[in-house]
Amino acid sequence: MSKTILITGIAGFIGFNLAQHLSRNTNWSIVGIDNVNDYYDTQLKEDRIKNLDKRVRFFRRDLNDDLSDIFRQESIDCVVNLAAQAGVRYSKKNPGTYIYSNINGFYNLINTARVFGVTKVLYASSSSVYGANEQLPFKESDLTSTPMSLYAATKLSNESMASGFFYSYGIRTIGLRFFNIYGPFGRPDMAYFMWTNKLINSEEISLNNNGDMWRDMTYINDCIKAIHLLLVNNENSATPEIYNIGNKDPIRIGDLLEYIADELGLIPNIKYTLAGSEEPVKTWADTSLLEKKIGFTPNTDFRYGVKKFLDWYEEYYD
Protein backbone atom coordinates (compact mmCIF):
# COMPACT_ATOMS: atom_id res chain seq x y z
CA MET A 1 0.00 0.00 0.00
CA SER A 2 1.43 3.36 -1.00
CA LYS A 3 1.85 6.02 1.66
CA THR A 4 3.61 9.34 2.07
CA ILE A 5 6.43 9.58 4.61
CA LEU A 6 7.75 12.90 5.90
CA ILE A 7 11.40 12.70 6.95
CA THR A 8 12.74 15.67 8.87
CA GLY A 9 16.48 16.26 8.90
CA ILE A 10 16.71 14.72 5.45
CA ALA A 11 20.05 16.43 4.75
CA GLY A 12 21.46 14.78 7.85
CA PHE A 13 23.31 11.49 8.02
CA ILE A 14 20.46 9.18 9.04
CA GLY A 15 17.73 11.14 7.27
CA PHE A 16 19.55 11.07 3.94
CA ASN A 17 20.25 7.34 4.14
CA LEU A 18 16.68 6.55 5.18
CA ALA A 19 15.28 8.58 2.28
CA GLN A 20 17.54 6.80 -0.20
CA HIS A 21 16.65 3.39 1.15
CA LEU A 22 12.89 3.94 1.20
CA SER A 23 12.76 5.60 -2.22
CA ARG A 24 14.63 2.66 -3.75
CA ASN A 25 12.96 -0.19 -1.87
CA THR A 26 9.33 0.83 -1.45
CA ASN A 27 6.58 2.44 -3.51
CA TRP A 28 6.09 5.12 -0.85
CA SER A 29 6.30 8.82 -1.59
CA ILE A 30 9.11 10.47 0.35
CA VAL A 31 8.98 14.11 1.42
CA GLY A 32 11.86 15.72 3.30
CA ILE A 33 12.58 18.94 5.15
CA ASP A 34 15.84 20.35 6.50
CA ASN A 35 17.07 23.80 7.50
CA VAL A 36 20.67 22.89 6.51
CA ASN A 37 22.16 24.61 9.56
CA ASP A 38 25.90 25.12 9.98
CA TYR A 39 26.50 22.91 13.04
CA TYR A 40 28.89 21.06 10.75
CA ASP A 41 30.07 21.47 7.15
CA THR A 42 27.05 22.56 5.14
CA GLN A 43 28.68 21.37 1.91
CA LEU A 44 28.31 17.81 3.16
CA LYS A 45 24.60 18.44 3.68
CA GLU A 46 24.20 20.14 0.31
CA ASP A 47 25.89 17.16 -1.36
CA ARG A 48 23.50 14.79 0.34
CA ILE A 49 20.57 16.86 -0.98
CA LYS A 50 22.06 16.76 -4.49
CA ASN A 51 22.33 12.97 -4.24
CA LEU A 52 18.77 12.40 -3.11
CA ASP A 53 16.68 10.20 -5.36
CA LYS A 54 14.88 12.40 -7.89
CA ARG A 55 11.52 11.21 -6.61
CA VAL A 56 12.16 12.68 -3.15
CA ARG A 57 10.48 16.06 -2.67
CA PHE A 58 12.68 18.38 -0.61
CA PHE A 59 11.69 21.53 1.30
CA ARG A 60 14.28 23.82 2.91
CA ARG A 61 12.41 24.45 6.14
CA ASP A 62 12.95 24.63 9.90
CA LEU A 63 11.04 22.52 12.42
CA ASN A 64 9.73 25.70 14.02
CA ASP A 65 8.25 26.98 10.75
CA ASP A 66 4.58 26.69 9.96
CA LEU A 67 4.56 23.26 8.30
CA SER A 68 0.84 23.01 7.66
CA ASP A 69 1.20 23.69 3.93
CA ILE A 70 3.48 20.66 3.54
CA PHE A 71 1.16 18.37 5.52
CA ARG A 72 -1.82 19.63 3.53
CA GLN A 73 -0.44 19.49 -0.02
CA GLU A 74 1.57 16.27 0.46
CA SER A 75 -1.08 14.35 2.43
CA ILE A 76 1.43 13.05 4.97
CA ASP A 77 0.62 9.60 6.41
CA CYS A 78 3.60 9.10 8.72
CA VAL A 79 6.41 11.22 10.18
CA VAL A 80 10.01 10.22 10.93
CA ASN A 81 11.62 13.02 12.92
CA LEU A 82 15.39 12.93 12.53
CA ALA A 83 15.91 16.70 12.72
CA ALA A 84 17.57 17.89 15.90
CA GLN A 85 20.49 19.85 17.24
CA ALA A 86 22.99 17.07 17.81
CA GLY A 87 26.14 16.90 19.91
CA VAL A 88 26.67 16.37 23.62
CA ARG A 89 29.63 18.74 24.05
CA TYR A 90 28.14 21.47 21.85
CA SER A 91 25.16 21.69 24.20
CA LYS A 92 27.42 23.05 26.95
CA LYS A 93 28.27 26.08 24.81
CA ASN A 94 24.97 26.62 23.01
CA PRO A 95 22.14 25.48 25.30
CA GLY A 96 19.48 27.71 23.76
CA THR A 97 19.88 26.05 20.38
CA TYR A 98 18.83 22.71 21.89
CA ILE A 99 15.69 24.11 23.47
CA TYR A 100 14.71 25.82 20.22
CA SER A 101 15.35 22.85 17.93
CA ASN A 102 14.82 19.76 20.06
CA ILE A 103 11.95 20.85 22.27
CA ASN A 104 10.11 23.70 20.55
CA GLY A 105 10.70 22.23 17.10
CA PHE A 106 9.58 18.75 18.10
CA TYR A 107 6.40 20.10 19.67
CA ASN A 108 5.57 22.09 16.53
CA LEU A 109 6.10 19.03 14.36
CA ILE A 110 4.15 16.49 16.39
CA ASN A 111 1.31 18.92 17.03
CA THR A 112 1.04 19.70 13.32
CA ALA A 113 0.96 15.95 12.68
CA ARG A 114 -1.91 15.68 15.17
CA VAL A 115 -3.85 18.49 13.50
CA PHE A 116 -3.60 16.76 10.12
CA GLY A 117 -4.60 13.34 11.40
CA VAL A 118 -1.21 11.59 11.26
CA THR A 119 -1.40 8.51 13.46
CA LYS A 120 2.24 7.32 13.50
CA VAL A 121 5.34 9.30 14.45
CA LEU A 122 8.84 7.87 14.75
CA TYR A 123 11.42 10.15 16.33
CA ALA A 124 15.12 10.19 17.14
CA SER A 125 16.01 9.84 20.77
CA SER A 126 19.51 8.92 21.95
CA SER A 127 21.54 6.53 24.09
CA SER A 128 22.50 9.69 25.98
CA VAL A 129 19.21 9.50 27.90
CA TYR A 130 20.70 6.69 30.01
CA GLY A 131 23.04 9.28 31.51
CA ALA A 132 24.74 8.12 34.69
CA ASN A 133 23.01 4.75 34.61
CA GLU A 134 25.60 2.12 35.61
CA GLN A 135 23.56 -1.00 34.93
CA LEU A 136 24.74 -2.63 31.70
CA PRO A 137 23.61 -3.31 29.08
CA PHE A 138 21.14 -0.42 28.86
CA LYS A 139 17.52 -1.56 28.73
CA GLU A 140 14.57 0.57 27.68
CA SER A 141 13.00 -0.12 31.09
CA ASP A 142 15.98 1.37 32.97
CA LEU A 143 15.51 4.59 34.89
CA THR A 144 16.52 7.66 32.88
CA SER A 145 16.39 10.25 35.61
CA THR A 146 20.04 11.38 35.51
CA PRO A 147 20.80 12.99 32.10
CA MET A 148 24.44 14.10 31.96
CA SER A 149 23.99 16.81 29.31
CA LEU A 150 21.38 19.28 28.14
CA TYR A 151 21.28 17.35 24.86
CA ALA A 152 20.21 14.22 26.76
CA ALA A 153 17.64 16.25 28.71
CA THR A 154 16.03 17.47 25.48
CA LYS A 155 15.80 13.91 24.19
CA LEU A 156 14.10 12.83 27.41
CA SER A 157 11.72 15.73 26.91
CA ASN A 158 10.91 14.38 23.43
CA GLU A 159 10.10 10.99 24.92
CA SER A 160 7.84 12.56 27.55
CA MET A 161 6.11 14.73 24.95
CA ALA A 162 5.58 11.75 22.66
CA SER A 163 4.04 9.85 25.58
CA GLY A 164 1.64 12.74 26.19
CA PHE A 165 0.55 12.79 22.55
CA PHE A 166 0.09 9.01 22.59
CA TYR A 167 -2.26 9.03 25.57
CA SER A 168 -4.02 12.31 24.76
CA TYR A 169 -4.50 11.93 21.00
CA GLY A 170 -3.90 8.27 20.15
CA ILE A 171 -0.84 8.91 17.98
CA ARG A 172 1.41 5.85 17.83
CA THR A 173 4.81 7.19 18.88
CA ILE A 174 8.03 5.23 18.45
CA GLY A 175 11.22 6.55 20.04
CA LEU A 176 14.55 5.49 18.54
CA ARG A 177 17.40 5.50 21.05
CA PHE A 178 20.35 5.63 18.68
CA PHE A 179 23.75 4.32 19.77
CA ASN A 180 26.65 5.94 17.87
CA ILE A 181 25.42 5.56 14.31
CA TYR A 182 28.36 5.66 11.86
CA GLY A 183 29.27 4.94 8.26
CA PRO A 184 29.77 6.55 4.82
CA PHE A 185 28.53 10.15 4.43
CA GLY A 186 28.51 10.35 8.23
CA ARG A 187 28.74 13.24 10.66
CA PRO A 188 32.16 14.96 10.82
CA ASP A 189 31.63 15.88 14.48
CA MET A 190 31.81 12.22 15.52
CA ALA A 191 35.07 10.76 16.79
CA TYR A 192 35.76 8.26 14.01
CA PHE A 193 35.33 10.99 11.36
CA MET A 194 37.38 13.58 13.26
CA TRP A 195 40.17 11.07 13.88
CA THR A 196 40.33 10.25 10.19
CA ASN A 197 40.63 13.95 9.34
CA LYS A 198 43.35 14.51 11.92
CA LEU A 199 45.32 11.42 10.96
CA ILE A 200 45.39 12.40 7.30
CA ASN A 201 46.34 15.98 8.17
CA SER A 202 48.99 14.93 10.72
CA GLU A 203 47.16 16.74 13.53
CA GLU A 204 47.12 15.96 17.22
CA ILE A 205 44.32 13.68 18.41
CA SER A 206 42.80 14.07 21.88
CA LEU A 207 42.01 10.66 23.37
CA ASN A 208 39.94 10.66 26.53
CA ASN A 209 40.65 8.46 29.54
CA ASN A 210 43.61 6.70 27.86
CA GLY A 211 41.18 5.29 25.33
CA ASP A 212 39.49 3.24 28.06
CA MET A 213 35.96 4.15 27.10
CA TRP A 214 33.55 1.92 25.21
CA ARG A 215 30.95 2.82 22.62
CA ASP A 216 28.25 0.69 21.00
CA MET A 217 29.05 1.54 17.37
CA THR A 218 26.04 0.92 15.10
CA TYR A 219 26.45 0.76 11.33
CA ILE A 220 24.15 3.00 9.31
CA ASN A 221 22.69 0.21 7.15
CA ASP A 222 21.57 -1.69 10.26
CA CYS A 223 20.00 1.48 11.65
CA ILE A 224 18.07 2.10 8.42
CA LYS A 225 16.84 -1.49 8.25
CA ALA A 226 15.52 -1.25 11.80
CA ILE A 227 13.64 1.99 11.04
CA HIS A 228 12.16 0.50 7.86
CA LEU A 229 10.91 -2.56 9.73
CA LEU A 230 9.35 -0.38 12.41
CA LEU A 231 7.64 1.68 9.71
CA VAL A 232 5.99 -1.38 8.17
CA ASN A 233 5.10 -2.92 11.53
CA ASN A 234 1.39 -2.35 12.15
CA GLU A 235 1.16 -4.09 15.49
CA ASN A 236 -0.47 -1.61 17.85
CA SER A 237 0.92 -1.06 21.31
CA ALA A 238 -0.90 -0.26 24.53
CA THR A 239 1.90 2.13 25.51
CA PRO A 240 4.27 4.55 23.76
CA GLU A 241 7.11 2.58 22.16
CA ILE A 242 10.85 3.12 22.63
CA TYR A 243 13.61 0.93 21.20
CA ASN A 244 17.36 0.80 21.50
CA ILE A 245 18.99 0.97 18.06
CA GLY A 246 22.42 -0.38 18.91
CA ASN A 247 24.90 -3.06 17.95
CA LYS A 248 25.08 -4.72 21.42
CA ASP A 249 28.86 -5.09 21.08
CA PRO A 250 30.76 -2.11 22.59
CA ILE A 251 34.16 -1.18 21.17
CA ARG A 252 36.99 0.33 23.23
CA ILE A 253 37.64 3.75 21.67
CA GLY A 254 41.40 3.29 21.89
CA ASP A 255 41.05 0.13 19.79
CA LEU A 256 38.81 1.95 17.33
CA LEU A 257 41.43 4.66 16.83
CA GLU A 258 44.15 2.04 16.43
CA TYR A 259 42.14 0.22 13.76
CA ILE A 260 41.49 3.41 11.77
CA ALA A 261 45.17 4.37 11.95
CA ASP A 262 46.27 0.89 10.84
CA GLU A 263 43.86 0.94 7.89
CA LEU A 264 45.26 4.31 6.83
CA GLY A 265 48.83 3.24 7.44
CA LEU A 266 49.43 6.22 9.71
CA ILE A 267 50.71 6.70 13.26
CA PRO A 268 48.49 8.92 15.44
CA ASN A 269 49.92 11.81 17.44
CA ILE A 270 47.92 11.33 20.63
CA LYS A 271 47.29 13.75 23.46
CA TYR A 272 45.71 11.94 26.40
CA THR A 273 42.95 13.91 28.08
CA LEU A 274 40.35 13.48 30.80
CA ALA A 275 36.85 12.40 29.89
CA GLY A 276 34.20 15.10 30.05
CA SER A 277 31.80 15.04 32.99
CA GLU A 278 28.94 14.60 30.52
CA GLU A 279 30.42 11.44 28.97
CA PRO A 280 29.68 7.93 30.29
CA VAL A 281 32.53 5.44 30.33
CA LYS A 282 30.50 2.83 28.48
CA THR A 283 27.40 2.62 26.31
CA TRP A 284 25.94 -0.79 25.59
CA ALA A 285 22.53 -1.49 24.10
CA ASP A 286 20.25 -4.34 25.05
CA THR A 287 18.36 -4.87 21.78
CA SER A 288 16.14 -7.78 22.81
CA LEU A 289 13.01 -5.60 22.73
CA LEU A 290 13.76 -4.46 19.18
CA GLU A 291 14.42 -8.03 18.05
CA LYS A 292 11.18 -9.22 19.59
CA LYS A 293 9.27 -6.46 17.77
CA ILE A 294 10.77 -6.70 14.28
CA GLY A 295 12.87 -9.88 14.25
CA PHE A 296 16.09 -7.98 13.63
CA THR A 297 18.90 -6.45 15.60
CA PRO A 298 21.96 -4.53 14.32
CA ASN A 299 24.98 -6.83 14.10
CA THR A 300 27.58 -5.39 11.67
CA ASP A 301 31.18 -5.81 12.83
CA PHE A 302 32.84 -2.41 13.37
CA ARG A 303 35.82 -3.38 11.17
CA TYR A 304 33.52 -3.85 8.18
CA GLY A 305 31.67 -0.59 8.85
CA VAL A 306 34.81 1.48 9.40
CA LYS A 307 36.37 0.10 6.21
CA LYS A 308 33.26 1.13 4.28
CA PHE A 309 33.51 4.61 5.79
CA LEU A 310 37.21 4.94 4.90
CA ASP A 311 36.53 3.82 1.32
CA TRP A 312 33.85 6.50 1.04
CA TYR A 313 36.11 9.11 2.67
CA GLU A 314 38.87 8.46 0.17
CA GLU A 315 36.49 8.83 -2.77
CA TYR A 316 34.59 11.86 -1.44
CA TYR A 317 37.68 13.86 -0.49
CA ASP A 318 39.67 12.61 -3.44
Distance separating alpha carbons of residues 183 and 199, to the nearest angstrom: 18
For 122-139, how does the pLDDT look when each residue is reduced to its tens digit (9 = 90+)?
Answer: 999 999 999 988 899 999
Q: Is the pLDDT of residue 211 over 80?
A: yes
Which positions are annotated as active-site residues? 151
pLDDT at residue 16, rounded to an integer? 98
- The average confidence (pLDDT) of the chain is 95
Burial of 164 by CB count in 10 Å (0-12 exposed, 13-18 middle, 19+ buried)?
middle
Ordered structural domains, the chain, with CATH: 4-182+218-249+279-299 (3.40.50.720)
Q: Is the pLDDT of residue 92 over 80?
A: no
High-pLDDT (> 90) share of the chain, %: 87
b/e map 7-34, b = 16+ CB within 10 Å: bbbbbbbbbbbbbbbbbeeeebbbbbbb
Give the residue-averaged pLDDT of 274-280: 76
Give the residue-averaged pLDDT of 163-179: 98
